[in-house]
Structure formats: structure tokens, C-alpha cells
Structure 1
Amino acid sequence: MKIIALEEHMLPRDIIEAAGVDLGIRAGKKAAELDDLGEERLRIMDAAGIDMQVLSALSYFVQGLEPELAVDVNHKINDRLAETVTNKPDRFQAFAALPMSDPIAAAAELTRCVEELGFLGAMIHGQTNGIFLDDPSMRPVLQAAARLDVPIYLHPAPGPEIVQEAYYSGLDPEVAACLSTSGWGWHSECGMHVLRMVASGVFEELPELKLIVGHMGEGLPFHIDRIESMLNPVVTGHSLSVAETLRRNLYLTTSGYNFDVPLLCAIASFGVDHIMFSVDHPFADSKKATTYLETAPVQPADLEKIAHGNVEALLRMN
């Protein structure tokens, strides 16, 4: 079975160090693996049976830099991604990293990456300096994605500083770093971000905009009926209900989740055509992810969709 992994991170060490960026406690431990775009990454893919990775920079460290620096650093990261794809197009494709502190420049960079470099979309990491994607200032990026007919992969990122202080202060630094990110915090943060976009009418204005989220939907499949019953009555004037909008515009990946219950919940809530495979390399184990995928309790035809068919259709890879 062909397997395409959709949320697979990289971050070139030389570019990040030159920009003076500190990766912090958790990402810093993975710096070497993030930097590797060569034989070791391919060895891991081959051992797990992964045919292709769609690469994305772990760019929440750089998307919110001072605008001029953000433009320069993200441009260099995207050129490195493009070089990697050019060298092995049968094994790698890419999502663009965008300088979100300058939305006009970010829209231009997305256009460059898609039209000139052949990228398949972009990955944006949460809010940028406290500004969420539903803010009118961010509309140029969303409009560019809709015009180019490419998705935005909305990856979680740490919340604004005021949230970090309120929820995670007083804890051991390593515990706080985990709890505020992959241990819980950024899943709820990302799910809330998606709902902001729905509630504010982003998808009414841009009904063709496609959004991807990882980690089996960032909690949205489990909560979708509650969201519909509580939020929909106060989100008025839209052509579709909140749940209908989510099911039309949102796509989910499995990244980091290798369990029956969340997979079956995601399929039941969004339909199998909106579910795609991911590992979350290097923060999750590739072999564990593919082993689970191959034994997941779904029909063979649906398994093929999750493993490669849905992403090929969404990203027009054929």
C-alpha cells in the first residue's frame, strides 16, 4: 500500500542559527533530526514503509519575527525545501513557510512557492504575535490560498504570552513546555483557532478555502455535536451551520494518534474522505504510525484513501 505522510517537519539548523533563533527545550532536542533532509530521514521512511513525506518547516519560531527578517528567513527555508524536492521529487514534496508578521509579503511568498517552486500549499503555526487568522489583516494570505487552490495546514503553536502565564506558570519548566504544547495546550488552542475562523465568517467569504489540521482533528471530531448545538444558534447569517462548514472546509490528519477510538471518531464526524495519514516526524515514531495504519479497523478501500488517495486528491498530486 502506498503511504504519503503529510505533517513531517524540518528546520535547517544553519538558517535558524544565523537568524539567532532559540529552539527552546523541546524542539531543541530534535534539532539534528529537523535539520536532516538526507539519508537518515530516508532510512526512517523506508523502514516504516513511507513512500513520500510532504515536508513543512517547524516555522512558528520564525513566522512572527520582525517583518524584514521573517521575509528573509522564510524565503531561505523555502528555497532549501525546494532544493530537497528537486533532488528527490518521488520522495518529498513541500508546504511553504510564510512570514506571517507581514501578511502582504506572506501572500507573495505563498504565490512564489506555489507558482514557481511547485509547492502544494502552506503550513501556518497558530496565531502570529497574538493575531489569529480570522483577523482582517491576515486576509491577503487566505485569499492567496483560495485563489491558488491550495490548502493551509494550520499547525498548533504556543498561545499568546498572557495565556501561557495564566495557564502554565508555576510548573516545572519542562512540564509547562509539554503541557502547553503537545501534552494538551496547543490542541485546544488550534481547535479554538479553527472555530474562530468559522464563527467570524472566513469560510462564508472564502467558501473554497481548504484548511487542514493534524492530531486527528485537534479535538473537533469529539466535540462537533456539542459545538453545533451550542455555537450555531449564536453564529447567525451564515449559509451553512457551524458543523456543515467544518465538514465542507476542514480536513484532518492522523499525526501522532495511533488509536482506534480517535480514528473512528474522526471518520464518524467528518467522513473518511476528509482523513489523511501523517506521522509528525520527528516528534512521533514513523514505524509505529504505519504499523497502526496497516491494522486500523477500516475497510481496505477506506484505508487506501487515508494512506494516500485523499491527499493525492486534495493536493492534486496526480
Structure 2
Amino acid sequence: MTTRRHFLKTGGAAAATGIVFCGCGLLHGAHGQQSARQKLPVMIGGKRVKTIDVHAHCQFPEAGALLGASAAAGHVPTLVDGRSRSEVAAAAFIEIDKRLAAMDAQAVDMEVLSINPFWYGSERDVAGQIVKLQNEKLAELCASKPDRFAAFASLTLQAPDLAVQELETAVRKQRLKGAAIGGTVNGEAFSDPKFHPVWAKAEELDVPLFIHPTGIPELAKKLAGNGWLTNTVGYPLETTIALSHLIFEGTFDRFPKLKVIAAHGGGYLPSYADRSDHACLASPKSCNPNIQLKKAPTEYLKQIYFDSLVFTPEAIRHLVAQVGASQVVLGSDYPYPFQLQPVDHIFASQSLSDDHKADILGRTAARLLNFTA
């Protein structure tokens, strides 16, 4: 397995490809890209495009402290380069100057920050305190650099009535741009009617919900071993299941104006979406006759947004072919080193027209999040 130590030993090759380490201990530079490095301001067809990364993470130590140090640390994954949990957590604690330098190096004008939910298993009052603190700090951070940061609110989704209030406050008073949610809430699918008030509020406020998986505990044993399969396989699978429930249980029919952004290119669903159209034909007994979808399952992909974190130009080509360029937005997963040059990744996709590139890099996100690119 490639470790950071091994990577550093190959520093000559790394330097030749322009890869360097930043002060926070994460990689900057090309990630399998051979295209020219983009710089700010990003230009397409002679026109400036404001690049907006909708998938960027942060954490606040004060929020984790409300759970206790050991409990909070248990929600931070150990990355494959061997860094400790505390090092991984520290990488997401934003130091403004370092984060802005990293964004500049990525040619990213704006990050839309989110926090993966680690509080769903906590009791209502504690979770509410965590969410309140995080949303206040997100709002404060965004207000300090409104041209560089926006954010998705946190929600106490295990208490839907409280989540509705939190979303209202976050959008109307704190100027946050929607909310980040997991893939389930303690094993309960988002299609459960108990969550309908939250989706209704998101529709009313005209803001998106960013689905980011957090893991499937039931699969922990099967996903153990080499390859970080809890992330490599488990995360895309969790998102696939979450989206499929929203489709097949009729949630998107009930809330036709609900805006959902799916992390990691929507998991496996866009890669094999057409199978969904045949499931109830092949096994009618496996489908609920009381749920009559208004359109074919694949058609719902046209109203879901997907981040561009699929790694290769061919994967981007296929994603766009399946869901439409209008449904894809820029995503990096920063500060986790999955796609270190997300803008270069889009420029390297020769299947995209200039208009498609401009939409993915920022114009679609600007419309979706209700601000001007």
C-alpha cells in the first residue's frame, strides 16, 4: 500500500509533475491530469467563469467537544496515507489564509462548505446544540469572506420538527445556502414520511439538500480489509440507496421542486440507471402497487444534481450522457485528497462544450444556490 512516507521518497517524480504539500499536510497538484494547470480567474471562450466547489468540508472543534473528545474522534476516518484521526480532523479546521491559498492553487473561486453529520445518534438536545454552534460558525465564516465561502447548514435530522426550524433560521437569518445531510438517519431512509416536513421546508425556501454518505454500519464486516472499502464501495452504495428510495417510494413525486445534490457523482446510480427502469417489470411482486410513479425511474435523474467527483474524463462523459450537463456541478471533497485539481479535471474532459464546462464549473451552482456567478 502506498504510504505518505513512500510518496515522499518519490519526491523527484512528484516535483516533476508539480505536486507539493501545503502547510495543513495535504497534497496539492495534479491528480492524474495532463491538462494545463488552470489559474484564477478561470476563462472560457474569453469570458470569466466563477468556479464554485459545492463539495468541500470543514469542522469546528467546539462542536465535536460537545460529544466528548473520544466520541468526536470516532467519527473521523483514518485516511489511507496513514495519518491519525487527529491529523485528519485538524486538516478540516479552516485556517483562512491556508484554505484560500489552497483554493487559489485549485483555481476555485468559492467553496460551499459542509460538515458530515456525526450527531444523528445523539439525543435531541445535544445534537441541537452541535447544529446551532456549527451553523452560527458557518455563517460567521461565510460573512467574513462572502466572495470565497458559502455553506450548507447542519440539521438535527433525527428530530424533523427541530430540523425544519433549523433550516428556516439557517436560510432566512444566517444566509446559508441549503443543508448537508447524510445518506440515512440512524438507518431510516429519507423516504420515510417523518422527514416530509423537512423536504417541504426545503421546497418552500427553494434551497438544495446536499446528500453526503457517512457509512453503512451493517456492512462494516464485509467492507473490512484492504482498500478502504467503507469509503471506496460503501459511500457510493449508500448514496445509490438513498436516491433510489427517494425515487421508488414516490418522494420526488410528492416534492417535485425538491433540489438534491448527490456527492461523489451520485454513487453507482448514474452508472447503471437503466436497470431501475426494468426492476418492477421483471419482478412486479417486489414493487408496491400503491406507489404509481409519474415517470420512469431514470427520468428522476434529470431533477437530481450530481457533483463532478468521478475522477476521469470518460466518467464525466458518461455522467453527462446519463443525467445531462445541466445537472452536474463542481466537487472536490477538499481537504480530503480525492480530486486535487477539480477545475483541471473539467477542462480535461474533451467531450464537454465550452458552455457545458462553464455550467459545471460554476454557472449551474450559482443558479442552484441563488447567487450570481
Superposed pair shares fold, TM > 0.5:
yes
Unaligned runs of 5+ residues in structure 2 are 1-41, 43-49, 80-84
**2:263 aligns with one of 214, 223, 235:** 214
Let me know the Cα RMSD of the aligned residues: 1.8
Write the mapping of 1:72-83 to structure 2, written as runs, cut at 5 A: 72-83=129-140
How far is the alpha carbon of 1:230 from its aligned partner? 2.1
Alignment correspondent of 2:220: 164
Matched, 1:254 2:254: no
Alignment correspondent of 2:279: 230
TM-score by length of 2: 0.78
Alignment correspondent of 1:289: 342
CA distance in 1 between counterparts of 2:308 and 2:349 reads: 12
Tell me which structure has the larger Cα radius of gyration: 2
**2:363 aligns with one of 289, 293, 309:** 309
How far is the alpha carbon of 1:116 from its aligned partner? 0.5
CA distance in 1 between counterparts of 2:194 and 2:95 reads: 34
Deviation string, structure 1 residues 242-288 (Cα, Å, up to 9, x no partner): 111222x2110113x32012101110001100011111111135643
Give the secondary structure class of the aligned counterpart of 1:283.
coil
Quick check: 2:110–2:150 contact (8 Å CA) kept in 1? yes
How far is the alpha carbon of 1:127 from its aligned partner? 1.1
Alignment correspondent of 2:103: 45
CA distance in 1 between counterparts of 2:60 and 2:210 reads: 20
Evaluate the alpha carbon distance shift between residue 127 and residue 269 of structure 1 in structure 2; reply closer, same or farther with a 3 A threshold: same
Matched, 1:190 2:239: yes
Deviation string, structure 1 residues 127-161 (Cα, Å, up to 9, x no partner): 111112111111121111111111111111111x3
How far is the alpha carbon of 1:195 from its aligned partner? 0.4
Give the secondary structure class of the aligned counterpart of 1:101.
coil
TM-score by length of 1: 0.91
CA distance in 1 between counterparts of 2:292 and 2:249 reads: 11
Evaluate the alpha carbon distance shift between residue 32 and residue 223 of structure 1 in structure 2; reply closer, same or farther with a 3 A threshold: same
Alignment correspondent of 1:101: 158
Deviation string, structure 1 residues 172-192 (Cα, Å, up to 9, x no partner): 4xx48x211x21111011111
Alignment correspondent of 2:229: 179
CA distance in 2 between counterparts of 1:286 and 1:258 reads: 7
Unaligned runs of 5+ residues in structure 1 are none
For structure 1, which segment, 198-207 or 31-40, has the greater mean C-alpha deviation from structure 2 after superposition? 31-40
How far is the alpha carbon of 1:79 from its aligned partner? 0.5
| Larger helix share, 1 or 2 | 1
> How many matched pairs?
307
Matched, 1:275 2:275: no
Give the secondary structure class of the aligned counterpart of 1:251.
strand
Evaluate the alpha carbon distance shift between residue 231 and residue 8 of structure 1 in structure 2; reply closer, same or farther with a 3 A threshold: farther
Give the secondary structure class of the aligned counterpart of 1:97.
coil
Q: Percent identity?
A: 26
Give the secondary structure class of the aligned counterpart of 1:113.
helix
Give the secondary structure class of the aligned counterpart of 1:211.
strand
